[in-house]
Amino acid sequence: MDKQTAWTLLQQAAETEKKRHLKELLQDPQRFHDFSFRQDELLLDLSRQRITASTLNALLQLAESCQLRHWIDALFKGDAINHTEQRPALHTALRQPKGTPFTLQDQDINADVQQALERMEQLVEQLHQQQWRGFSGEPINTLVNIGVGGSDLGPMMVCHALEELQPQAGRAIKIHFISSMDGSQLSSLLQHLDPARTLFVVSSKSFSTADTLANAATARDWLQQASDMPEQLLLKRHFIGITANPQKAREWGLPDANQLHFWDWVGGRYSLWSTIGFAIAVRLGMPGFQALLDGAWRMDEHFRTSDWSHNLPVLLALTEIWNINFLDIHAHAILPYDGRLAHLPAYLEQLEMESNGKSVDREGLSVTHHTCPVLWGEIGPNAQHAFYQLLHQGSESVMCDFIVAAKRYGGAGESLQAQHRLTLANCLAQARVLALGDNALDQSQASAWQRYQGNQPSSLILLDELTPGALGALIALYEHKVFVQSVIWNINPFDQWGVELGKQMANTLLPHVGAPVKPGTFDSATEGVLDALNQLTGGNTAS
Ligand code: F6P
């Protein structure tokens, strides 16, 4: 079947399905059995999605008509599927076990990956053993990761999520993440740090991101002022650069011995598995980092080899395609019922929207359908007291992902265990009410403003426990889901040209901030604000 035929069949099915309410589908006692799928420590429950067996079948035909098999193979083989930058997207190679050779352009990249991991391990050990010493000879006890986007969100999300599993050796090192261009995070953090015991990790694939270089320069100035030591010594003892562009890091002043490397074929938002995950390895120790990689690798294998009828990334992707392209749902809320996953929504915002926020296809033509929806999120129970009102009674259809761990707080006091049960109950309550509306309880006598429409579809991802392996699998599940959707939409998920123009424009504007601007240089709105700035500050923007 060709793609157009498969698409038309789904459009026709949607005419009927749009009128069907989830309360009808959930009457089927087999529903959970038929629409929930387990893979190792993850259970994907799609039973509250507005799908039927026949819709799923039609979606699988659509996937086939888009040559999904060919694209999955091309991804794992290392074909240059990021065609606009002529390179592969081989984040999967980063989690492939040691001793599984993988040749890319005559180079065994598995050997390269293992070598980088070994180098990372040496540095982690040095820090854990308190052998990395600052300018005064005292051991480093604080690591500050300076980076933005993929060089920040992934490591920060994982470090926060798995903090409770930190081994004793890792506890000696405090970890902070700094990303904001305006220096507000850094300036307040520096007031609490001991310069003699602080290591800055400048994480940047390109080593040319303005935000990161500005924060790194502020950190270097701070150290110089606080220590009065020669710059070279400070760079050697207090900075590590993590990059795919060693030359730029050298130009910035970092000797090769202070660099960890990764490769062009790792996309920034797919890089937490590489040396960019250094902070994770410091927090968890190398065994913990390896367990994260292993969880992702097991999901890779599942995605690559298992039949699509029970393939978690494929099923999750297709269900959302159904929502977006056929049920006209263009908002997606990420709702972890677990404070440890507080940064998961921000991480997924980049992963999903920077990957699939595109409207030009692989042939350079405008797409004729919706692609990535607007995606946002918050810790579920907190969001209940903030934006759930809109989910329950607003005018927008929204699909939701509930993410929760079954087991938590073993060995902790009863009150924490009770909090976990309370959280599980709230997660299930919200998923049920969003699906059924006021049919969940008998509300038929309630006034109009107390009624709930329901029929908001959701997926529930139940982790056995939030372990490094389960988190690795969860992240890989989302990565591959994004990939499958890009195949259906025929777009390249691995470039991000849409972020370039703003960077160029900022470079053009910078010399005009706090200076008079000649009329006709920009547009009237920009010139108006530049004039106002100039008048307010007299050319000096410092307060
Ligand atoms: O501007 C977007 C972006 O290029 C992201 O794709 C990337 O994760 C982030 O900036 C940081 O880039 P780098 O790691 O090169 O500093």
Q: How many domains does the chain have?
A: 3
Q: Are 379 and 517 in a shared domain? A: no
The residue whose CA is least distant from atom 2 of ligand 1 is 499
pTM > 0.85: yes or no: yes
Q: Are 160 and 232 in a shared domain? A: yes
The residue whose CA is least distant from atom 13 of ligand 1 is 204
What is the model's pLDDT at position 169? 86
Domain that holds residue 219: 109-282
- Answer yes or no: 354 catalytic: yes
Q: At what angle do helices 468-489 and 278-305 cross, to 10 degrees?
A: 60
Of 354, 378, 392, 481, the active-site residue reads 354
Please identify, by atom number, the ligand 1 atom nearest to the C-alpha of residue 153. Answer: 8
Pocket (CB within 6 angstroms of ligand 1)? 148-151, 204-206, 209, 212, 268-269, 354, 496, 499
CA 509–ligand 1 middle distance (angstroms):
21
What is the model's pLDDT at position 543? 84
- Answer yes or no: 385 catalytic: yes
The residue whose CA is least distant from atom 8 of ligand 1 is 150
Please identify, by atom number, the ligand 1 atom nearest to the C-alpha of residue 203. Answer: 14
Q: How far apart are CA 329 and CA 114, in angstroms?
A: 43
Q: Is the dihedral of CA 237, 239, 241, 247 positive or negative?
A: negative
The residue whose CA is least distant from atom 1 of ligand 1 is 499
SS3 category, 260? strand
Here the CATH number for the domain that contains residue 370 is 3.40.50.10490
CA 270–ligand 1 middle distance (angstroms):
11
CA 524–ligand 1 middle distance (angstroms):
31
Q: Are 129 and 9 in a shared domain? A: no
Q: Are 243 and 375 in a shared domain? A: no
Q: How far apart are CA 160 and CA 175, in angstroms?
A: 10
SS3 category, 46? coil
Q: How far apart are CA 330 and CA 494, in angstroms?
A: 22
What is the model's pLDDT at position 178? 98
Q: Above pLDDT 70, what percent of the chain?
A: 100
What is the model's pLDDT at position 445? 80
Which amino acid is present at 175?
Answer: I
Q: Within 13 Å, how many C-alpha atoms sit on residue 436's CB side?
A: 17
Q: Which residue stretches of the chain have pLDDT < 50?
A: none
**Six-digit token string for 156:** 């920060």
Q: Are 506 and 463 in a shared domain? A: no
What is the model's pLDDT at position 73? 98
To test the ligand 1 pocket, which listed residue (84, 87, 276, 496) has its Cβ within 8 A of the most ligand atoms? Answer: 496
In DSSP notation, 211-254 reads: HHHHHHHHHHHHHHHHH---HHHHHHHHEEEEES-HHHHHHHT-
Q: How far apart are CA 233 and CA 212, in angstroms?
A: 21
Domain-located, residue 376: yes
The residue whose CA is least distant from atom 6 of ligand 1 is 268
Please identify, by atom number, the ligand 1 atom nearest to the C-alpha of residue 500. Answer: 1
> 320 Cβ partners below 8 Å, 6+ apart?
332, 399, 481, 485
Q: Are 430 and 357 in a shared domain? A: yes
H helices of 26-163, in order, are 31-35, 53-65, 68-77, 91-94, 109-128, 153-161
Q: How far apart are CA 269 and CA 486, in angstroms?
A: 15
Domain-located, residue 92: no
In DSSP notation, 4-24 reads: HHHHHHHHHHHHHHTT--HHH
- Answer yes or no: 414 catalytic: no
Q: Are 344 and 419 in a shared domain? A: yes
What are the φ and ψ backbone dihedral angles of 376, each rounded to 5 degrees?
A: -155, 175
Domain end (from 282, 311, 332): 282
pLDDT digits (tens, 9 = 90+) for 65-120: 999 999 999 999 999 999 999 999 999 999 999 999 999 999 999 999 999 999 99
CA 269–ligand 1 middle distance (angstroms):
8
What is the model's pLDDT at position 132? 97
Q: Are 22 and 151 in a shared domain? A: no
